[in-house]
Chain A
Amino acid sequence: MKNNLARMTELYRTMVRIRAFEDAAQAAARAGKVVGAVHSSAGQEAVAVGVCANLRIDDVLTSTHRGHGHTIAKGADAGAMMAELFGRSTGTNGGKGGSLHIADFSVGMLGANGVVAAGLPIAVGAAQGLRLKGSEALAVTFFGDGATNRGPFLEALNWAASFALPVLFVCEDNGFSAMTRTASVTGGSGPAARAEAIGVRAVTIDGNDLMAVDHTAGELIAEIRAGGGPRFLHCRTYRLRGHTATDPARYREEAEVAAHELVEPLTLARIKLIELGAAARDLDAIEAEEFALIERAVAAAEVAAPPDPSAAYADVQDLGAPPARGAL
């Protein structure tokens, strides 16, 4: 039931949307239309989509600097997201955050984050707050393999374990800590071993296998919802692009990237869908629709109004908010 054709087809559609978004965002960044850093999650779509397929609207998630995929998978509007990258008033954040701080609280997406591992403690606290409110929702935190070398990774895992909080930790292990291979700067047996050492059940899977992510995330989330406390999902994947849109990633061989292109998640999912009986023309149509949707999002973002300069002064704080320049 769970991996039926209809479900997989819908998840494939979301993956294609994320890829289209990432490619369009990268192109816009390289063209100078999107200012500020853009970090592409191309190649990691199956993790975002497979996990979020098992979430409810009232579940919350925290994300990373590479957060477009999580935001789309949680249900945010890609048009408002693209407008945010373009710094428009119609953006998810009204032009205040850009790619690095993309967020849509209305769907429980509590924010991308410019600081590696910063989302983990926020997620465990959100879970604790939700429990205090009597909610049965849970929190998911996505983070990379690089984050496992930061202190808040340890602190948040221990916190979630100590308080038996409903949190799913999802490590998107793409092998790179920014522009350095994580293995070259990391001791021990990897993210799952670190989680297990703290008593959090951890599962390592192929994060490019959409069905595996969907299935395993579903299982772990069911355990969390049953009151089992935190769980840890370690997804091996690969970052197809550079660290940022402008990083040519010369620190890796073209052959390495080419090998990973053969097992990237959209390719694998398409093969699987055909095996399950999907018609190639239907998948072609999904791809065309999603790329067209993102093209329209870009076109709308390009012509949308920038924020009024006065908006710069809004939402700093209630008490002691800054007066507009020249007002004092």
Chain B
Amino acid sequence: MTVMTYQEAARQAVRHEMRRDPLVWALGEDLGRGGVFGQYRGLQEEFGPARIVDTPISEAAIMGAAVGAALVGTRPIVEMRFADFALCAMDELINQAAKNRYMFGGQGRVPLVVRQPTGLWRNSAAQHSQSLEAWYVHVPGLVVIAPATPADNRGLLAAAIRSDDPVVYFEHKNLWQLEGEVPDGDHLTPIGRAEIRRPGRDITIVTWSALVHEALTAAGQAAIDGIEAEIIDLRSLWPWDREMVLASAARTGRLLVAHEAVLASGFGAEVAAVAAEELFGRLKAPVRRLGAPRMPVPYAAVLEAEYRVDASDILAAVRSLCAE
């Protein structure tokens, strides 16, 4: 185990996979300088400009080129800089990467990873703050991952690079500097398995990405009142660990799903719907969801606070559910 940041863990995952497989490469804007967040620091020096590729600001071509390069057998890591900018490459991701294998009858594979730095960070306002993970869960062919810890960013990014499916990979910008223990060596985290971050008997909180940490804070507060919350970090949104979520909710009898994304049609809706279908009559309280109001992310701190789901929102929901 080594203590490192979420960002460094990702950097080491890319470095490890690029050393392991000469067909792994990365492309995106400003990568040679280390990437806009430093998550590629030093990699172009080690692997050269043909494998850590500085591209023009051409999101469609970045994604489309990655599709073509994947089809001929390489494994591109696509850097989108901000999740918001990936919207300039939607045809290439949704119509091309995700459907290629299927519509051509299994002739080709598109083993690429699309890194999308996501979420609220430094008051970045409407076009640099979004959490759009649910969009991608809706698209057949894609795998969707959102790690919350340095260890998972190491293990899931490596697993995503080795996957033969196209993977949309959300790294939360506010977690870049988060430190944590990371296993040494060839560390892989299985895609599709959730992790219990805190065991508890009274309520199940399902969450992912940065909100895992807000949920942990809320659970600590709730414990003072004698409420023991179980926190499940989903980690993978597609495929997602239905079994773990359903088993936990059946045990605790209460389910809260919390995400930073807009509430309406967020992935929490899917989790809540499955729980409603599978656990009818077995819960002590209605399934509850927490998400942002359906509005663009505002700039000023006091306005952004209206958008943000935080530990106090989670704590309030936990108390309310456990009072039922």
- Docked pose: A122 CA to B71 CA in angstroms: 9
Shortest CB-to-CB span from A115 to chain B, Å, is: 5
- Taking residues whose C-beta sits less than 8 angstroms from the other chain, chain A's interface range is 35 or more
- Docked pose: A75 CA to B191 CA in angstroms: 39
Inter-chain contact A126/B95, CB cutoff 8 Å: no
| Residue of chain B at shortest CB distance from A104 | B107
Shortest CB-to-CB span from A94 to chain B, Å, is: 4
Tell me which of B55, B64, B102, B105 contacts A120 (CB under 8 A).
Answer: B64
Report chain B residues within 8 Å CB of A318. Answer: 163-165
Inter-chain contact A103/B165, CB cutoff 8 Å: no
Tell me which of B53, B74, B106, B143 contacts A315 (CB under 8 A).
Answer: B106
| Residue of chain B at shortest CB distance from A106 | B107
| Residue of chain B at shortest CB distance from A314 | B106
Report chain A residues within 8 Å CB of B25. Answer: 132
Which chain B residues in 75-113 approach chain A with CB under 8 Å?
Answer: 76, 91-92, 95-96, 100-108
A176 on the interface (CB 8 Å rule)?
no
Of A155-163, A210-218, A269-277, A289-297, the segment with at least 4 beta carbons within 8 Å of chain B is A155-163
| Given A121-B68, A130-B72: A152 touches B140 (CB 8 Å cut-off) | no
| Given A121-B61, A159-B56, A319-B191: A132 touches B74 (CB 8 Å cut-off) | yes
| Given A110-B71, A121-B92: A316 touches B140 (CB 8 Å cut-off) | yes
| Given A133-B74, A320-B238: A123 touches B68 (CB 8 Å cut-off) | yes
Inter-chain contact A320/B143, CB cutoff 8 Å: yes
Report chain A residues within 8 Å CB of B91. Answer: 115, 118, 152
Report chain B residues within 8 Å CB of A94. Answer: 105-106
Shortest CB-to-CB span from A318 to chain B, Å, is: 5
Report chain B residues within 8 Å CB of A155. Answer: 56, 58, 60-61, 64
A25 on the interface (CB 8 Å rule)?
no
A93 on the interface (CB 8 Å rule)?
yes
| Given A110-B68, A319-B192: A105 touches B107 (CB 8 Å cut-off) | yes
- Docked pose: A104 CA to B100 CA in angstroms: 12
Which chain B residues in 44-81 approach chain A with CB under 8 Å?
Answer: 50-51, 53, 55-56, 58, 60-61, 63-74, 76
B23 on the interface (CB 8 Å rule)?
yes
A129 on the interface (CB 8 Å rule)?
yes
Tell me which of A104, A124, A319 contacts B61 (CB under 8 A).
Answer: A124
| Given A101-B103, A126-B72, A132-B23: A317 touches B67 (CB 8 Å cut-off) | no
Which chain B residues in 174-198 approach chain A with CB under 8 Å?
Answer: 191-192
Report chain B residues within 8 Å CB of A111. Answer: 100, 103-104, 108
B142 on the interface (CB 8 Å rule)?
yes
Annotate A92-130 by CB proximity to B: 1 below 8 A, 0 otherwise: 111111000101111000110111001011111111111
Report chain A residues within 8 Å CB of B96. Answer: 113, 115, 118, 122
Report chain A residues within 8 Å CB of B141. Answer: 316-317
- Docked pose: A129 CA to B108 CA in angstroms: 14
| Residue of chain A at shortest CB distance from B167 | A319
Report chain B residues within 8 Å CB of A156. Answer: 61, 64-65
- Docked pose: A163 CA to B61 CA in angstroms: 12
B298 on the interface (CB 8 Å rule)?
no
Among A101, A120, A125, the most chain B Cβ lie within 10 Å of the Cβ of A125
| Residue of chain B at shortest CB distance from A128 | B69
B220 on the interface (CB 8 Å rule)?
no
B239 on the interface (CB 8 Å rule)?
yes
| Given A94-B105, A132-B50: A114 touches B95 (CB 8 Å cut-off) | yes
Report chain A residues within 8 Å CB of B67. Answer: 121-122, 125
- Docked pose: A326 CA to B69 CA in angstroms: 37
A139 on the interface (CB 8 Å rule)?
yes
Report chain B residues within 8 Å CB of A126. Answer: 68-69, 71-72
Tell me which of A97, A128, A159, A317 contacts B143 (CB under 8 A).
Answer: A317
| Residue of chain B at shortest CB distance from A322 | B140
- Docked pose: A121 CA to B62 CA in angstroms: 8
Shortest CB-to-CB span from B36 to chain A, Å, is: 20
- Docked pose: A130 CA to B72 CA in angstroms: 7
On B, residues with C-beta under 8 Å from A are 23, 25, 50-51, 53, 55-56, 58, 60-61, 63-74, 76, 91-92, 95-96, 100-108, 140-143, 163-165, 191-192, 238-240
Q: Ordered nearest first, which 8 A-B pairs have the shortest CB separation?
A: A121-B64, A125-B68, A125-B65, A320-B239, A129-B69, A93-B105, A126-B68, A155-B61
A118-B96, A121-B65, A132-B25 given; 19 more Cβ-contact pairs under 8 Å: A92-B107, A93-B103, A103-B108, A111-B100, A113-B96, A115-B95, A124-B65, A124-B68, A125-B68, A126-B72, A128-B69, A131-B50, A132-B51, A139-B68, A156-B61, A159-B56, A163-B53, A317-B165, A318-B163
11 A-B pairs in the complex with CB atoms less than 8 angstroms apart: A95-B105, A97-B105, A103-B104, A111-B104, A118-B64, A118-B92, A121-B61, A121-B67, A128-B68, A129-B69, A129-B74
